[in-house]
Amino acid sequence: MSDSSSSANGATSGQPYPYRFGEVGVMMGVLKREQVRSALDRQAQQRQTGRAAQIGQVLVELGVLNQRQVVAVLVAQKRLRTEQGLPQDAVASADPPPLAPRTSERKSRSGTSTAKHPPVGARAEEPARRSSSRRATAPAEAPPAVAPAAKSKRQTLGSFELIRQLGEGSMGAVFEAQDQEQNRRVALKVLPKNLASDAEFLARFKREVKTLSALNHPNIVAYLGAGQTGGYSYLSMEFVDGNSLSQRLKREKRIPEADALHICKEMAQALAYAHNLSLIHRDIKPENVLLTSDGRVKLIDFGLGKSQEDTSKLTAVGMSIGTPHYLSPEQALGKEHIDHRADLYSVGATLFQMLTGQVPFDHASSTQVMVMHVKQPPPDPRSLVPGISRGAAQLTLKLLAKEPDQRYASADELIAALERVMAGKPPDAAPTREVGGTGKKLPRTGGLLSRVKRGPQGCLSVLFLMVGAVAFATWLHRFL
């Protein structure tokens, strides 16, 4: 996207392309207009020397943005133009290479919310909030090259008999399948041939396999195996017979507070385990929370997850990945370092929806939703549903703090706060009296009355002291 005009919102060659790179960056809060003007001036100077650098690259050279933030603005720009129904040729002509995402990326990552990540073992989800024309990938079908089993009309993939498609997303389709070798029902994620041949997508798929293989927790869907056959890569996972939290919310709209806190606690337990392995999920949302028939919670889709030590390009180009309605401010801004507290923010957005029946921020434009996460304070849940307890509201708002340092420090700390709220107590424990940094409690001071107990017994003690003092004064007056 080349902002080659003299202003952030100008047109190129007289053609008015809305939502230019600089304009979108200013909307997102990662750029100031004077920075865009400086970059445009430098871009014009470079053109005189025969160099045609894009505005995003110029901003990187000036040290204003990093590459992750450039991609974040590119993704938001494309999403805004798509939402406005701009002709694709206009979008393409306004976004020449090299900074624009590659063709394979545009098909799979047109924005943080366009890809639909299916629940494992649950029914296919409801349509995305926006038009189906904006789906990240074409609907995946059962592998067409796989021959049907000899005595069945069902298709097979290696030793797996495909029963039905459960959903599909940017990384392929998920099927309910029968593992004929192990004689068990599984959820099978299949990467289509056209994506399996793409080095970046294959790397991301292998990363999910590596990620899941390290996880073993009752609140995380179990990984069973992976392989390749007939040109397809696949991932075999535990089949969960149940519905997603998204389906329950669609059916009930709001969830009773006790149930919502229980679900949130089990989500936090799964994240505490993953975070202790230095793994961040990065896409916590109701679609990725399964509710089993026996009342347990299973967290799924760690395909977007990353290690906090991961600095690969694959992670860098996906920094704004996630779903806008549950995305943390630091993810929306494309910040370089995202830690586990981004997951806690997404848990807060999910809890907010469970308690109130609506997401904390909503708008027809998903980019505007991201801007609201960054700049607008969330409403108090009790202003929407007065019956919500004060403790649950306080906990939710702390999770939705703009700055990570103002949220709970860890998932374990969140679990402790949830347990206090579930017990009818304030979410944060009362601070103890300490001396400096020693941790020792201060002794009571203030004389005799400071040692008197509070409450009814304390009142009687004070009354007896007063009566005794009066009697003593009367005796002393007579004696004198």
In 193-311, where does DSSP find H-type helix?
193-196, 199-213, 245-252, 257-276
Alpha-carbon distances of 390 from 46, 396, 429, rounded to whole Å: 58, 10, 15
Tell me how far apart the terminal alpha carbons of the chain are, to the nearest angstrom: 100
Strand intervals (E) in 129-222 = 156-157, 160-169, 172-179, 184-191
Asked if the structure places residue 221 within a domain, the reply is yes
- List the domain range (segments joined by +) for residue 404: 243-422
- pLDDT at position 60: 84
460 assigned to some structural domain: yes
Nearest to 326 by CA among 272, 274, 378, 254: 378
The verdict on 150 and 267 lying in the same domain is no
CATH number at residue 137: 3.30.200.20
- Residues 205 and 177 grouped into a single domain: yes
Q: Is residue 71 part of a domain?
A: yes
**Domain assignment present for 382:** yes
Number of alpha carbons in the 13 Å side-chain half-sphere of residue 208: 28
Query: Pairing mode, if any, of strands 279-280 and 289-292?
Result: unpaired
Q: Which amino acid, 326?
A: Y
The answer to whether residues 212 and 248 belong to one domain is no
CB 366 within 8 A of CB 113: yes
DSSP string, 380-406: PHHHH-TTS-HHHHHHHHHHT-SSGGG
Our count of domains for the chain comes to 4
Is cis: bond before 377, omega within 30 of 0?
Answer: no
The answer to the question of residue 316 being in a domain is yes
Residues 152 and 171 occupy one common structural domain: yes
pLDDT of residue 275: 93
Q: Domain ends where: 221, 238, 255?
A: 238
Token couple for 403: 């700055």
Query: Is residue 122 domain-resident?
Result: no
Tens of pLDDT along the chain (480 residues)?
Answer: 444 443 444 433 344 456 788 888 887 778 888 888 888 888 888 887 877 678 888 888 888 888 778 877 887 777 776 666 654 444 433 333 333 333 333 334 334 433 344 444 443 344 444 433 333 344 444 454 444 444 456 788 889 999 998 877 656 788 999 999 999 999 998 877 776 677 777 777 777 677 777 789 999 998 888 888 877 888 888 999 888 999 999 999 999 999 999 999 999 999 999 999 888 998 899 999 999 988 899 998 875 445 444 444 333 333 344 578 999 999 988 887 889 999 999 999 999 999 999 999 999 888 899 999 999 999 999 999 999 999 999 999 999 999 999 999 999 999 999 999 999 999 987 654 444 433 444 444 444 444 455 555 666 666 777 777 777 777 666 666
Class of residue 43 by CB neighbours under 10 A (exposed 0-12, middle 13-18, buried 19+) = buried
Query: Reduced to 3 states, what is the DSSP secondary structure of residue 415?
Result: helix
70 and 219, same domain (yes or no): no
Q: Both 413 and 355 in a single domain?
A: yes
CA distance 380 to 467: 51
Indicate if 265 and 393 belong to the same structural domain.
yes
Are 289 and 405 within one domain? yes
- pLDDT value of residue 274: 93
From the list 95, 198, 283, 301, the catalytic residue is 283
In a shared domain, residues 380 and 393: yes
pLDDT for the residue 359: 96
Give phi and psi for 251, each to the nearest 5. -80, -45
Residue 436 located in a structural domain: no
Residue 67 shares a structural domain with residue 201? no
Q: What does R_g of the chain's alpha carbons equal in angstroms?
A: 29
User: 312: helix, coil or strand?
Assistant: coil
Instruction: Show the CA angle centred on residue 471, arms to residues 470 and 474, nearest 5°.
Output: 85
C-alpha to C-alpha distance for 44 and 63, rounded to whole angstroms:
18
Point out the domain boundary residue: 100, 117, 146: 100
Residue 457 is assigned to a structural domain of this protein: yes
Contact 355, 387 (CB under 8 A): no
Residue entry with tokens 């129904």? 85
One domain for residues 291 and 220: no
Instruction: Answer yes or no: 283 catalytic.
Output: yes
Same-domain pairing of 199 and 300: no
Q: Among 207, 238, 269, which residue terminates a domain?
A: 238
Q: What is the pLDDT of residue 15?
A: 43
